[in-house]
Amino acid sequence: MADYSSQTFLNEKINLPHTNFKVGVVTALWNTAITGVLKSGAVNTLLDAGIPEKNITIWDVPGSYELIYGANKLATDGYDAVICLGVVIQGETRHFDFICDAVANGIANVTIKHNIPVAFGLLTTDNQEQAVERSGGKHGHKGEEAAWTVLKLLERG
Ligand code: RBF
């Protein structure tokens, strides 16, 4: 039976028209042990694609909710793409839903308003284990995948 869970396209090589793109990597500090891994994966993927280090801005914001501000600020400052990374873990209260909804909608607004790729690299999990599995574990590396996503869109120039 076909394995519909494996996103093999993520291994496709990216051929950028040039490597002058300025890319922002905005990372939330909450659950920093995991968001740090997402960030390293994203930055390494950009470097592997030929984006020079000087063109990559790394900005750590307090929580995932602030990813919206970070992305909007960098987009306003003329960045070609922004990668947003965060981990929201389900707690006992309804904050999880409010934060996840706000970030999803906020980032969507930034990508539409500024017409640049903005990656939604937000893990929204029931527990820490699920987040670990998605940051280089058995469910892939969502930091690398978020970077691949913006590169794939920048490929068009
Ligand atoms: N930020 C995250 O990135 N991940 C979380 O799991 C998370 N949980 C939160 C739970 C509560 C109850 C609150 C008040 C905030 C949480 N935040 C979390 C922080 C949030 O993204 C934001 O930084 C703050 O609400 C300040 O605007």
60: β partners: 27
pLDDT score of 1 more than 90: no
Instruction: Return the residue whose CA atom lies nearest to atom 5 of ligand 1.
Output: 88
Kindly state the average pLDDT of the residues 84-101: 94
Pocket, ligand 1, Cβ cutoff 6 A: 28, 30-31, 62-66, 86-89, 91, 93, 95, 99
Secondary-structure breakdown of the chain: helix, strand, coil percentages, each rounded to the nearest 5 = 50, 20, 30
Please say if the pLDDT value at position 2 is more than 80. Answer: no
Looking at residue 10, its pLDDT comes to 87
pLDDT of amino acid 3: 54
- What is the distance between the alpha carbons of residues 56 and 130, in angstroms, rounded to a whole number? 28
Q: So what's the pLDDT on residue 4?
A: 52
Residue minimizing CA distance to atom 4 of ligand 1: 88
| AA letter at 149 | T
Residue minimizing CA distance to atom 12 of ligand 1: 95
- Is-catalytic flag, 95? yes
Average pLDDT value over all residues in the chain: 95
- Tell me how far the alpha carbon of residue 35 lies from the centroid of ligand 1, in angstroms: 14
**Sequence-ordered strand ranges (E) for 10-154:** 23-28, 56-61, 81-89, 118-125, 135-137, 140-141
Domain boundaries, the chain: 48-88+115-125+137-157
Residue 8: pLDDT band (50, 70, 90) is: confident
pLDDT, tens digit (0-9, with 9 covering 90-100), for 46-84? 999 999 999 999 999 999 999 999 999 999 999 999 999
User: Among residues 87, 149, 76, 155, which one has the least CA distance to residue 118?
Assistant: 149
